[in-house]
Amino acid sequence: MKNATKSKRVVLGALAITAVLCISALSALGVSETSDQTWKAHTVKAVHTPLTPQALGGQDNILISVDNPDGDDMHPKVAIKPGGAIVVVYEKQIGMFSRTIPMVYSANGQSWTLGFEFDSADFDGSGLLSRPDISYNSQLDQFAYSVVDPIGDQYNLELYWIPGDIAGAQEIQGVGTSGVGATDHYGVSVMNVAEYMVTPYICDEPDYDLYRCPGLGYWGYPDFAHPPDGMGGFYYDGGSVTPTTPASNIECVNGGGQHMYMVMQTGEGDDAKIAFKATVTDMDQLNTAGGGPGGMDKYADIEVWPWQGFLVDAAEMTNVQVADPDVGASGNNVAIVYADTDNSYGDWDIKCAYTSTIPGEGSQYTWETSVVADNHPADETNPAVFVSGNNVFVAYVSDGNLYLVKSEDGGATWGEPEQINTEDGTVVAEERTVDIGAGGIVWTDNRNGAKDIYYAPLPSAIINVGTISGGFGVSATVTNTGTEDASAIDWTISLSGPVFVGKEASGTIDSLPAGGETTIGTGLVFGIGPTTITVTAGGATKTASGLVLGPLVLGL
């Protein structure tokens, strides 16, 4: 790892505070403390223990937290390597002051294995770990995983790269880090851009008089280095554009399109708001220093991401509250779900703000809003969203049950909800109680007396664009990670820039079975110069940058 430059930029009113430093390579680093951060590296050995088959819950509801029958398990997150492992992380409550994070995986959603178990004692922490998140990086074939130690003295943000072949991983290395002066940490979310893990998180920064303040880190593979050139790697949000403190329920996604997104709740009760932010996924733009207010990095700094604002502001309405936002994206399709009480009954409903139009520089997002669930007078709460092409899936809790509802037009209209839990009244309604993705649905369930984590497959075909490869032309893999077969999948591959032959190719995949994979390609291309490649299949989109030299496409 080369030396990395980190910067922490915070605007308080008109005042800009910037701290810049260099750190030594983690390969030569055991423990380090600078004026900006503390670091500690740690290796975690694999467990790879099959979970007891007798404890599983059947075909439709699979109990995966089988080794903690008397303790509470909560806050699950799910990710999948298309065509590979489904991976779930969650909190395991061992005692009042002891909470670890198991990482379990499955090849088929039925039989599960405990792969790793993470403990804050590895970083001299408080014994508690909280709010894990995980996301698959197809470019690296690595899972990006992060979790917070909420009350540790240091190393509060823990980061790991997990090989895509998780079953073959014998050990992994991670780091614990935190800004000097940062205190309590309240949660983290994870997404990927190029070879970087991106982690929006929430902490206190008393030195700047910021409490429950959003922060953001960019961490490279394999050694967690920050980007080497113009951008800093570690930022706090001082609220100069959108006042975001006190923040909670922070979530993020990169759907493979032009932008990546985060949402969060700010404030509470009648003063709560749903804030969103978006920035580019192009690394050249992200790595351009400055350009924002006070000299802050226009595209990289969480405080001044070019597209941001309040999606919903309860303070501007009468007797209305909002809570529990989540965000999903696929190409240009973006959906943000949240719960609100904006109705004559005063109960909680689920709403969706959606768009398929990506604004240019100087413009802001325009959102349409639809009602996902409003079964009055029942409360519908704790939504989670997943977007695949034009299909939007939302899971939510109502009367102790977990429901799944689908939109086939980007979030404009919704079908009938389907109950997912097979035993009535057992789903726990709390923050981050459910997660949904291409790998399936996970939730917190108390049918056995304590809180447990259950899994169910997503009942749909899920089309993903996987690896984009070069050589003589461009090829890409298309996978169906859902539980149903897909048919008549339209696809296109387009290349921007000075490409004179093979600039666009298209076709139709006649059928793709559940769990299947196929390869599409352009055939011959000819050109010269940089290119952006956009692959779309079944509404799912992925982009990559490369270089065309005659008939060769390089740099992918």
Are 219 and 228 in contact, with CB atoms under 8 Å apart?
A: no
Q: What's at 7, amino acid-wise?
A: S
Q: How far apart are CA 93 and CA 71, in angstroms?
A: 6
Range of 27-31, 136-140, 146-150 with top mean pLDDT: 146-150
Q: How far apart are CA 405 and CA 391, in angstroms?
A: 10
Q: pLDDT tens digit string along 101-113?
A: 999 999 989 899 9
Please compute the mean of the pLDDT values over residues 110-128 and round it to a whole number.
Answer: 90
Tokens encoding 162 = 């997990």
Q: pLDDT tens digit string along 141-165?
A: 999 999 999 998 889 999 999 999 9
Higher local confidence (pLDDT), 43 or 515: 43
Closest CA to 485 of 514, 463, 509: 514
181 has a pLDDT exceeding 90: no
pLDDT more than 70, % of the chain: 92
Q: What is the pLDDT of residue 58?
A: 63
Are 375 and 355 in contact, with CB atoms under 8 Å apart?
A: no
Closest CA to 482 of 510, 466, 463: 463
Q: E strands of 206-320, at which residues?
A: 210-220, 234-236, 247-254, 259-266, 273-280, 307-313
pLDDT range class, residue 311, cuts 50, 70, 90: very high
291 has a pLDDT exceeding 60: yes
Sheet holding 73-80, edge to edge: 49-50, 113-118, 98-106, 86-95, 73-80
Q: What is the pLDDT of residue 11?
A: 36
Question: Quick check: bond before 200 cis, omega within 30?
Answer: no
13-21, long-range: CB < 8 A, 24+ apart: 13/240, 14/294, 16/294, 16/295, 16/296, 17/208, 18/295, 20/232
Q: How far apart are CA 32 and CA 90, in angstroms?
A: 29
CA dihedral over 342, 344, 350, 354, signed as positive or negative: negative
Q: How far apart are CA 299 and CA 291, in angstroms?
A: 8
Q: How far apart are CA 372 and CA 352, in angstroms?
A: 6
The predicted model scores a pTM of 0.87
